[in-house]
A and B are shown apart, each in its own frame.
Chain A
Amino acid sequence: DAKTTQPPSMDCAEGRAANLPCNHSTISGNEYVYWYRQIHSQGPQYIIHGLKNNETNEMASLIITEDRKSSTLILPHATLRDTAVYYCIVRVSLTLDNQGGKLIFGQGTELSVKP
């Protein structure tokens, strides 16, 4: 089962920041949080990932709470092309020393960016 919970849908005005929340209260100490998005008829696109520090790249920022039980993906200036399903995923470790793991997708958040 997925270890993440996300709202099923969200709206955002074009040009505004989109803040997508994710709960992962059962995350283990060595498990990373990944964000992907999937635009209709395409494969999932990697956005960003992190362990406990906040991360930023050219696409987005990832804010992870200090207790690591939740995180927020921030798209600073949403455009119409950001309309997609956004998946927050905890990579589940298969061994105690994190030698191998797998992504278990949850249901995701359908983000609609409106003009």
Chain B
Amino acid sequence: DTEVTQTPKHLVMGMTNKKSLKCEQHMGHRAMYWYKQKAKKPPELMFVYSYEKLSINESVPSRFSPECPNSSLLNLHLHALQPEDSALYLCASSQEFQGNQPQHFGDGTRLSIL
């Protein structure tokens, strides 16, 4: 069982829709991450939040907008996505961004863009 909870598990949306992915952890972790994983490929880092502030944006298009409203929650707001954005979106958390404690992943949201 994962300690990082992602909702929804599946999402189908049109290119003009606005939707949000949610991630929650209650391990007291202060770093949270978004990854994108295409089929048969490894996960790729998108964003890192440390103490609720954006620390890394891996040149992600602006149609993806992250938000960290508090230390337990991480959102990814989606708008005007393209079919190539269909993927598994993974959230992870770790004790700190600095340091070497491992990241713990949720089971992801499988996103399909029509």
Contact = CB atoms under 8 A, between A and B. Distances in A.
B44 interface: yes
A21 interface: no
Q: Interface on chain A toward B: helix, strand, loop, or mixed SS?
A: loop
B109 to A, nearest CB: 10
B98 A99 contact: yes
Interface stretch (B64-72, B76-84, B100-108): B100-108
A106 B98 CA distance: 22
Interface residues of B, number: 22
Interface stretch (A10-18, A43-51, A71-79): A43-51
Interface in A33-47: 34, 36, 41-46
Given A44-B90, A44-B92, A91-B100, 8 more contacts: A43-B92, A43-B108, A45-B105, A46-B104, A98-B98, A100-B50, A101-B100, A105-B43
